[in-house]
Structure 1
Amino acid sequence: MPTAPCETSTPKSLRLAAAAVALGSCLALAGPAGAADAADPVPTVFFGDSYTANFGIAPVNNQDNPRGWCFQATENYPAIATRRLADKSITLDIQSDVSCGGALVDDFWKQQGLPFGAGTLPPQQDALKDDTELVVGSMGGNTLGFSSILKQCSVKLREPSLLPGEPVDSDKPAAECRDFFEAGDGKAWLDYKFEQVEAELDQMLQRMSYFAPAAARILVGYPRLVPADTAKCQTPAPGQTELPFADIPKDALPVLDQVQKRLDDVMKKAAAEDGADFVDLYDRTGDNTACDGTNRGIGGLLENSQLELFGQPIPWYAHPNTKGRDIQAEQVAAKIETILNR
């Protein structure tokens, strides 16, 4: 494909030029792949964090090597979406699925450290090849620090747990987290983190075009966690004793939703500006939040998932359950089908 010249006339192009210098070359800015023959296998790489790996769903891939610490489900949404497409005679040739729980956006081009000193993994971009035609996955939530936001709002999550991260400011009571994030230091922290996410998503998408110049890129958003009617979150899900968001104050739930909607908007904007496609799960999962009872597509914060670690059940920590995974797979498969046939 043609290589775009490096320009320096706008702030956006300055960022592109800076990224090109870091890569040692002017980046090729790829558009989406053209129409594909559905009979031809499409070389595909899945990337991303725990929402692509589908943390919490058993069994887990690669249990006997360091990648086991990614908690990548054997039946994650990339696997389910691939089968859905195969049923329509669209074959994905999966070159790699490098999605890994805990991945930051910059783990796309840096080594990712694994928990409990289990080692490191190579940058996710290493999976891309010259002949890769499709790159799909989710990134952004960990760089934003969503675990730290949850811990800022919950006494129970501040206790020793398997959920990584620390509260944004442990000196501020969890009961005051709404006010903390709406003004002062908490708001300033959020603004900074969103700027970081936007800049790093921009670089990640450019790197995809550089290392896989023929590939269509699909950035997958995150499913909605908190419903518009937060009163639904004051009742435990069927069979559960904990509330879906545990002890997070009721008045803080709209703040969590606003943070997630803002992240969705940042991801959507990054994809649009870099010529990538976007799967907007937030807008499609308003009836499948953690507070939607039997229809919930998100496991509650302290609801036991399907996994155990060191003989102890691991909570979902607000990740998609099997229903939520199937929604992810359906929406991603539909987007891939649209791209390959346009």
Structure 2
Amino acid sequence: MDRFDNIPEQALDWHRAGKGAALATVVETWGSAPRRVGAQLAVSGEGEIAGSVSGGCVEGAVVTEALEALEDGGHRMLEYGVSDGDAFAVGLACGGRIRILVEPVGQALPEAMLADLVAARAARQPRAYVIDPATGSRDLTGAGFADRFRMDRSGFEEDGRFVAIHNPPLRLIVVGAVHIAQALVPMARIAGFDPVLVDPRPAFAAAARFPGEDIREDWPDEAVAALGLDQRTALVLLTHDPKIDDPALEAALAAEVYYIGALGSKRTHAKRVERLTERGFTEGQIARIHGPIGLDIGAAGPAEIAVSILSEMIAVLRKGQA
């Protein structure tokens, strides 16, 4: 999924309200399409829609097919050829094709399976929805498909099954409301992260310095305990102060966050390693910390350092721990 949305939730709500609902999912498309494979459109039995499967060129036809699917109860695979003119109208340089799977809720797509998916999403638990279009068999699993989960990549397997990846939204916890954070937080938001700032120092954790952002004026160990740490969370430590950084760092090392980065020189990081070793953390655990933080791009100044940090966060997310 491109970003966390409420399309499955909306479909389930419509179904339970007695309106009927169908989910339409992009399963194959051309390069540089307006919507990625895995994008969804929910259609109610009354013709209401949420989400999208294209830039607007095929939605009307998909709604008609979805309403017909609600009548017959079976899933259907749609394929549309997009002319050069239509493709240009939705922002593409050339034509192509798009395939869309339509599933009526409570019929082809069991209500219980959709409810389980919605519950997993609410609990920030990644799930893969797997369907074999040839047989109609369906499965919902959090196991396997490691590369697809890491890359947020839905698509067809070699055996013909389609896998729709439902990942929790990416989250960034920044400890230290410093100058670098003022550049990093808006950059991260643009890149698809939901950022949270943590700093117990009122002068730093001031709303005027971070307008509209989620700021927690708490000690980091308390903040991360309240927020929770999982495989879709990145933790960035920017204060240089062990009293503030270390409690959050220790919590992250005991959790499954996908990225941990700590600001500081090689000497500062060496002292950090000593402290963590004394507290019983293993060499393997400590090796998860990216310190000094960020990719080596020769960054100078807070904004460029923020670019290097965000770049490293994305590299680890998509390519695995370096």
TM-score > 0.5 by shorter chain: no
Q: Which has the higher contact order (CA 8 A, sep 6+)?
A: 1
Q: How does the TM-score come out when normalised to structure 2? A: 0.31
Q: Name the structure where strand makes up a greater proportion of residues.
A: 2
Q: Name the structure where helix makes up a greater proportion of residues.
A: 1
Q: How does the TM-score come out when normalised to structure 1? A: 0.29
